[in-house]
């Protein structure tokens, strides 16, 4: 059971929590290929995602960012035409193996989508729903967990007096923070975020970016974004994709200020995309 914790604001690009020692690999992707029917969406991609860091996936529309993200938690299992080869390991366990327990995997890997998608339930129930199904908690423990997750997602103060009100009554930014609280309540170690701020106003976007940067103390985060400022503000690592291939990856500062590849340079400078 997580302990109560409050989220404070920290400057972007502060010391990484794992900066004292070399960061460990959380997700190891090797020689990964993905198809929809005969269309190959990802070509021979190898990439290490580092633990307790925020990794931004950037690249023009259709380059395969979401496809890769959707294989990390096997969401593509429900797409009949989707197939893949290669290896995708989380903590040395092969995600793509037919014997992988997908229910367990989805507890390990939380997902936050482009548009906030709260359940048509109360604020409390949005967070309590999955823990009630999967964890054997007494009512008091569940209450504590709900409060912990809402605090961690930096939305507690705004909702604590209306926990039984419908989640749809919250603003878009509050709903997205509620969805982050829902994702972390089940105790994942990896959070996947597919353009988590694209439906939000600038103030809510900054709040979520701040939160993402904070959350990396406890979680490994992969974020798809079309917003270059956002990638440079709140990620430690950046991976640039183009036409289904990984062109370049590395520390965000390096990718943005001294990219190795001309296509990366052109993209981060907004020359195409």
Ligand X SMILES: Nc1ncnc2c1ncn2[C@@H]1O[C@H](COP(=O)(O)OP(=O)(O)OP(=O)(O)O)[C@@H](O)[C@H]1O
Binding stretches for ligand X (CB under 6 A)? 36, 39, 41, 59, 61-67, 79, 81
CB contact at 8 A, 167 and 121 = yes
CA–CA separation, 174 vs 150, rounded Å?
10
Closer by beta carbon to ligand X, 74 or else 151: 74
Closer by beta carbon to ligand X, 41 or else 54: 41
Closer by beta carbon to ligand X, 81 or else 260: 81
Closer by beta carbon to ligand X, 41 or else 185: 41
CA–CA separation, 188 vs 73, rounded Å?
11
Q: How far is the CB of 81 from ligand X (least distance, A)?
A: 6
Q: How far is the CB of 268 from ligand X (least distance, A)?
A: 15
Q: How far is the CB of 187 from ligand X (least distance, A)?
A: 27
Q: How far is the CB of 144 from ligand X (least distance, A)?
A: 37
Classify 128 as helix, strand or coil.
Answer: helix
Closer by beta carbon to ligand X, 195 or else 210: 195
Q: How far is the CB of 72 from ligand X (least distance, A)?
A: 12
CA–CA separation, 246 vs 32, rounded Å?
11
Beta bridge partners of 58: 240
CA–centroid distance for 200 within its chain: 16
CA–CA separation, 145 vs 137, rounded Å?
9
Beta strands in 37-119 (DSSP E): 39-50, 54-58, 82-90, 93-94, 109-112
Closer by beta carbon to ligand X, 57 or else 148: 57
DSSP state of 167: G
Closer by beta carbon to ligand X, 2 or else 62: 62
Q: How far is the CB of 116 from ligand X (least distance, A)?
A: 17
Q: For residue 264, give Cα distances in angstroms to 153, 189, 213.
A: 33, 30, 24
Q: How far is the CB of 73 from ligand X (least distance, A)?
A: 14
Parallel/antiparallel/unpaired status of strands 39-50 and 25-36: antiparallel
């Amino acid at each position: 059971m997580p302990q109560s914790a409050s989220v404070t604001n920290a400057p972007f690009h502060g010391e990484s929590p794992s900066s004292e020692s070399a960061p460990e690999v959380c997700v190891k992707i090797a020689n990964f290929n993905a198809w929809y029917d005969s269309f190959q969406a990802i070509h021979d991609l190898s990439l290490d995602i580092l633990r307790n860091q925020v990794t931004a996936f950037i690249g023009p529309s259709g380059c395969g960012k979401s496809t890769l993200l959707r294989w990390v938690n096997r969401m593509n299992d429900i797409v009949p035409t989707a197939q893949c080869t290669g290896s995708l390991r989380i903590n040395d366990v092969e995600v793509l193996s037919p014997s992988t327990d997908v229910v367990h995997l989805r507890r390990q890997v939380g997902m936050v989508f482009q548009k906030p998608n709260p359940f048509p339930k109360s604020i409390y129930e949005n967070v309590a729903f999955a823990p009630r199904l999967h964890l054997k908690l007494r009512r008091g423990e569940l209450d504590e967990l709900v409060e912990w997750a809402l605090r961690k997602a930096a939305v507690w103060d705004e909702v604590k007096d209306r926990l039984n009100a419908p989640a749809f009554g919250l603003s878009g930014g509050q709903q997205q923070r509620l969805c982050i609280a829902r994702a972390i309540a089940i105790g994942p170690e990896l959070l996947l975020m597919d353009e988590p701020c694209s439906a939000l106003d600038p103030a809510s976007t900054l709040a979520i970016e701040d939160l993402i940067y904070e959350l990396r103390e406890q979680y490994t985060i992969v974020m798809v974004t079309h917003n270059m400022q956002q990638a440079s503000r709140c990620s430690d690592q950046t991976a640039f994709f183009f036409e289904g291939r990984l062109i370049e990856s590395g520390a965000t500062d390096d990718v943005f200020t001294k990219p190795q590849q001309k296509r990366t340079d052109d993209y981060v400078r907004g020359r195409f995309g």
